[in-house]
Amino acid sequence: MAFTVQLEQRSSSAVTLVLSGKIDTAAAEKLDVEINRALTGPVRTAVFDMEGVDFIASAGVGVLIKAKTRLTRKGGDVAMINLQPQIKKVFEIIQMLPALNVFESVRELDEYLTRIQDRIVEDGDFTDVG
């Protein structure tokens, strides 16, 4: 299966990238180009839907970490959803899961974002509400 990236613009500040296939070294280069294209302008949040990803090489991990670093500098963040068990294990092995926001589903991500926004509205506190 060839690697593909489908871009879904959720708002002017949020984008979802639906990834599918193997993220090997060649695919990581393509992913990097697509991420750079997606993160232009006011985009501060990128969600990577990893449901269709069945393999990720270190180059792919590096591209995702680069995206997180870029958005963190802009005051934004990255979230990953729908990780296959073998992909989740890769991030556990390199001890990146605590540094990345990983969610089982869009519903879980939405619940997390709702809690953050509710806290900001209630008391202006933007700390992780886990």
CA dihedral 89, 112, 52, 93 (to 10 degrees): -10
50-85 pLDDT, tens digit per residue, is 999 999 888 898 899 899 989 988 888 888 999 988
CB atoms within 10 A of CB 113: 16
Beta sheet of 77-81, edge-to-edge order: 4-11, 14-23, 45-56, 77-81, 101-103
112-129 pLDDT, tens digit per residue, is 656 655 665 566 544 444
Kindly state the percentage of the chain with pLDDT values over 70. Answer: 75
23-47 pLDDT, tens digit per residue, is 998 999 999 999 999 998 889 899 9
Domain covering 4-105, topology:
Transcription Regulator spoIIAA (3.30.750)
- Coil, strand or helix at 28: helix
pLDDT of residue 122: 67
Residue 130 has pLDDT above 50, yes or no: no
Q: Where are the domains positioned within the chain?
A: 4-105
Report which residue type is found at 116: I
pLDDT of residue 52: 96
Q: Where are the alpha helices (DSSP H) in the chain?
A: 25-38, 58-73, 85-93, 106-123
The string of DSSP letters for 108-127 reads HHHHHHHHHHHHHHHH---S
* Average predicted confidence (pLDDT) for the chain: 82
